[in-house]
Structure formats: structure tokens, C-alpha cells
Structure 1
Amino acid sequence: MTGMGWADHVIWWHVYPLGFTGALHAGPGHRLGRLVDWLDYAVELGASGLQLGPVFASESHGYDTVDHFRVDPRLGDDADFDRLVAAARGRGLHVLLDGVFNHVGRGFHAPDHWLRRTPGGDVAVFEGHGSLLALNHDEPEVLDHVVTVMDHWLDRGASGWRLDAAYAVPPVFWRRVRERLTHADAWLCGEVIHGDTYLRESGLDSVTQYELWKATWSSLNDGNLFELAHALQRHNGFLADGVPATFVGNHDVTRIASRLTDERHLGHALAVLFTVGGVPGVYYGDEQAFRGVKEDRDGGDDEVRPEFPATPADLSPLGWPTYRLHQRLIGLRRRHPWLTHARTEASDLTNTAVALTSSSGDDRLVTLLNIGDEPVDFPVEGSTLLESDPPSDGRPAGRVPGHGWSVLG
């Protein structure tokens, strides 16, 4: 792990460009520039990084790449990419690219020995998707290709890579990639579903923290904060090997506003996201309380990968209170950057209430959650109220109304 440093302070705004720009079902066009008009919005949100979904030439949804060196014609060309990166970097935003290196689309031109074979001799496909051909990661030329691609776009201004379906790639492959990259400060984050040992074995800087994502919404829905406490104990273990990427939404899952059975608990999920260890990200539209359900069917991702309007002024006024809530909690996070490496312990735990103490060295914050109907008084003498919902009405710092939350310093 060599890529931390600037990433200790990053908060990603995660965009799926093919959906965001309306390019997914369109013909060629210079659409990537539409993102430039949203960079100030991201900065005002509090983000310090722009995480992009696939932007390279593909056959459909971006994860069936046919040319890693060419911008998807539906989004534009190299000049459009360079303008976006320059505009982002000019605003202090790092850019994270989505690298699909486990598999390729059927139109990808490569020697036959680059493709993995099944025991029967057929070309292996990714998780039953016939359009996604699995690469052979034991082949040295595949390693050469991945390193060359990653360095090429890092040279062009990217700061790091999200590595799609990393869990399907032998972890030693990423160690070899890391050793050969010419950009030592590049941040590499692998997509994994269960990250128990992958982070340590792969040498990556980060992996996606799906276990905490699931525990966050399901503990709120089920009235079982013991699940959240358990997941945070496991999360502390992940932090010993690296800094997991934390989130409550992304391009592959039902939106948090649709997932929660009680909309009053959205703030609880966000309070957890922004006060525990990790590198947090916000999926575009979640900051506006967009709804969307992912379905297992053709086109089942479209609802969670929507087109955005031309400018922020065109958004519905109904979403701005959620945007401002994100601003408050992201602002708190940025005022306490040590939280990236913090460990979190649960106390005063019941099914519907918990005190989460996040600490690193002498630094400490306490997040109080109450998803029950009645107020809860937590023993937090000497603490100062930093953020809460509902807003403070002069009540004691440790008193949290029903379905409320607070963050204390």
C-alpha cells in the first residue's frame, strides 16, 4: 500500500458518466463536457474527488470494454477527457477512473492466449455473462497491458483507479501491477464483496466495504443496531490492512432513499458514513434523495444510473434539504480528517439506540443514533453537540429524540 497521502483527505462524488450524460443509449457525441458544469456543485457539496464510472470504448454499459486507450465515442474523445480532468484539477478535485481489467467485451481485439479458458477449453465468461470474456491473469502480456493502460491515463491526469470485479482476479496480480506502476502515489481501490483478506493479500490501498454498507441500512430497517455494531468491529479489522472505501450507494445497488423503510433514518445512515473510518463516497443523486431500485433484468440498472439535468438549477427543489444535510456532515468530516483512520466502538447498545465512539490517538467523536420512538439519554458528560437532527432546542447534549441522531465532540 503506497497510494495513501492525498487520499487520506478525499471524499468522492461518484458519477456514472454514460447515464449521467444521457449517452448510454445514444450515438457518438461530445457529452463528457456536461460534467464540467457540475464540478462546482460537487465542490460546494464538499467533495474533493470525482469518481468516474467507465469512460472507455465499450459495447453497451461500459463494463464490456473494447478499447482501454480510447474514450467511449458516446462520451467524446481525448480532448473532452483532458478538458474534464483539467477543469476538475483546477478546482482541487482528484479524478478516479474505473478500470475493467477482469474481463472485456467480445469486440476487444486481443491474442487468443489473453483469454481464460474453462476446463473444457471454452473461453471463460464473467459470472455467466456471455458478452464478458474473462482475461487470463496468469499471462504476462495481460499484466503488461493493464500496467500500460493504467500508467497511460495516470499520465493524463488521473489520480487513481477503481478496479472493477477485483474479487475475481488473483490478489497477487494487483501486487505485480502496483510494483510496476510509475505513479507511486496512485490510489488503487478494488471492488470486492467480502474484503476479509483481499486488501492485505493484494497490496491495494482500499477495497469496497459492502459489509458495512449492508449493515447500515439493514440494521436501521430491522431495528437491530447490534448488526451495525458487529459490522463496525469487523470494519476496525479492515482498517488494520488499509482504508476501505465506504458508501451508502453506488451504481450497482438500490438507492439508499429507496432502500430505507423509514425515510427519517436517512440522516442516521449518513452520520455513520461520515463519522467512521474509511474513504467515503457519495453516489450522484443520493445527495438529492433520488430514488431508484436495481432489478435483476436487462436494463435493471437504468433506474439507478439516471441522466442528470443540464445544470444544478434544473434539479427539483425537493432534494436540496438532503444536499444541505450532506454538506453539514461532509463539512464535519473535513474538519476532522483523522476520521479516515479512526476505529469505532459501540456502547450503550440496544436494538434501537447506540453510541458510536470513533477515535484516533487523542482525537474522538461520538455519534448517537436513536431509531426508536422515545427519547434516549446517553451518558456523555462534558461533550459538545456538533451536529444533530432534529436541531438542538437547548436539550442536553446526550439526549436524542425519537428517530434522531447527534454527533458530539
Structure 2
Amino acid sequence: MIVVGTPPDRTPGNAPEADTTLRSVIGELLAERSVSRVAHESDVPGKLRSLGIRPCAEPGAPSPVLSVHRSDAAARTDYYFFYNQGVVSPENEPRTLFEPATGEPVDREFSLEGRGRPYLLDAWSGKIHPLVNYASNGERVTLRIRLARDNAALIALGEDPNRFGVPPPEVHATKTSAEDAVMDPGGVAIRASKAGTYTTSLSNGRTVRSVIGSVPSAIDLTRAAWHLAVEDWQPANPYATTFGVAAAETRKAKAELDLKELKPWPEIPALRNVSGLGTYTTRVDLPAKWTAANGARLSLGEVFDTFTLTVNGRAVPIDQLAAEGDIGPYLKAGRNTIAVRVATTLNNRLAEIDDDVANRGLAQPYGLVGPVVLTPYGQAIVWSKAGR
């Protein structure tokens, strides 16, 4: 047992005799050899290590990420849930789970207890992806986890290669100087957003040096030309005096705007009190030499509230919290069309017609705000089943 901070010495109410009993019990508890004390919650991991207790999910460096581990012995599978709770503030305060968090993405190596191959269970897309950049010693698997603030990830370690219906490649990367290694049809590829020579160690003992040629620079789309088609949801009948089914009837007015830069709807005069749907569309021209070896990640920055993404007319699954994703398979040489459809709450419209809402003085920053950045990457195969 680990006691954090100052133990209690008072009982509820005015009962001095109970306080005395409590202090006696606490004293006996603290005298036990199995009980340790630390000043702050942040000291608990170090104390556990000093006691020889290793967590199932152990970060390579101090981390605000919380984890839960579940094991399915019959299926020979371990499941891990990770959640980035943010970083508590201010720094000199006791760190507990109940303090407000400020946001920083997390990029850490974690050592996970388990013997299987790792898989990402993508809750946003519903797809399962074998992970191919990890090290295993037979008892634990070490891999890198990237999480935006307030975001979560599901990782599974499965000993049966057919456990999830997506067999992993026979060989995987154990270390690479590139930004990442991913499963490619028939093999393993590395990715990098800058040209250069990259070294990758493979699980079959080989070391591969790969050259990624010219990669286009990142493209900031925040101040690109955007067209915004708005569907303004308004009450179809007088708001305060209509009841029953008629009170829920909605009139959807249309508006079209051409934007020179992205900003929240309350800062756009025509949309100051508008709630509803907004579809943002822009176009990006990629070089003629763009091939299947190229790709790109799209980061939308701040988006309020929920949204969908299409690229060249095809729906793209995208993380609603990180607001970023890989759109490489959807891009082509030449002109590409990106569309982001945002759905807002009804707060800002109600603030115009409902005094109670207006008195709260809260205008929500609807829309695609950004910064919106398209970051191209190059790709090189480091192992293929055909080439062995």
C-alpha cells in the first residue's frame, strides 16, 4: 500500500474520541512494512519501481497517459487502453487525477507486458491495423504511442497472427531513423516528411538503408481560398410561443461565403448568431511527379464541433479529437479537392432568441478554425514478401 500526502486525522462531525481512534489506526497502518508513503501522486511510479513493481504499461519517460490492461487468456490476447489526460498545472501543486489539465500531445515509447504482435484497434474508423514498428523480448513489447490531449488509443497484443483477421507481415521494423514504419501491401515501408537516407533494423536481423527523394514542403491551407456553404438552422415558428411538434420544426436557410482566411463563425458578421452545418471546400495542387510512393497527413487544427472529411469526393475516416489523419491514399497528382463538413451545436442561435442562453454570454467558436496544414511524406519499402 502507498499512502499519498498527509493521511487523515479527523472524522466527520465533532467527535474527539473518534479522532483519537482514527489517529491510532492510521499510526498502526503506517507502521506496517507493506505500507509506504510519498508526498505527491507523481511520486508513486518511482516508489513502485523502488519496490520492484513494474507496471503492465511502462512509459519510457514520465507521462500523463493513463492506461488500463485486460487479458484474454483463452484468446492469448492482451488489450491496452491509453488515455492522455493532459498535464496538470501549476507545476508545484500536488498532482492528482482531479486537477485541471492543460493540453500537450504525447509521443512516448511504452513497454507493454505481453508476448503477442501489436495491433491498433482504431475506434474512429472501426479498422484494425497491424503495427510494424516495435521491439519484443518474448515477455514485453516496446512501441511508440502518439496521442493528442484528451485522446485515447486501443492496442492489442495477439499471439495468434490470425486473431483479428488481418495477418501481420512476417518481418517488422524494430528501429528506424525515419518518422515511422507502416504496413504496406505485401510488406513494410518507412515514411519521412524530409528527403534523406534512413536506416531501419528489421526483426530478421537485417539492416536496411533507404533513400527517400524529394518531398514537397508542408502546405499551410489556413489562408488558402476556402468556399463555405452554410445551412443555417432556425426555428420555423415563433420560438417562445410555439409548443408541441411545431416547436421542433426547423427552417434551414442557405448561405454561401468565400473566405480569405479561416476564423470562428462569431467573428464573421454574416454568421455571428448562426448555428447549423457548414461545408468548407478548398483545392490543393500537387506536383505532376506525385506517385504512390508519396502521401500526406492532414491536420485541421481547431474544429468546433463535430466534422467529416472528404478528399476528391471520397470519405476519409478522421480522428475527431486530434483532427488529423493520413490522406495519402486519397490524393493524386494535379488538383485535389478537400472538403470539411462541420456540425455545430444550437447555442449561438439560441443566444439570439432565448434570454436565458444570451445571459450566459457564451458564444461558441464554431467552424473550421485551423491552422490547417498538409504535410507530404515520402515512402520506401524496407521489406516485402516477394523480395524477402
Measured against the shorter chain, the TM-score band is under 0.3
Q: What is the TM-score of this pair, normalised by structure 2? A: 0.25
Structure of larger gyration radius:
2
Q: What is the TM-score of this pair, normalised by structure 1? A: 0.24
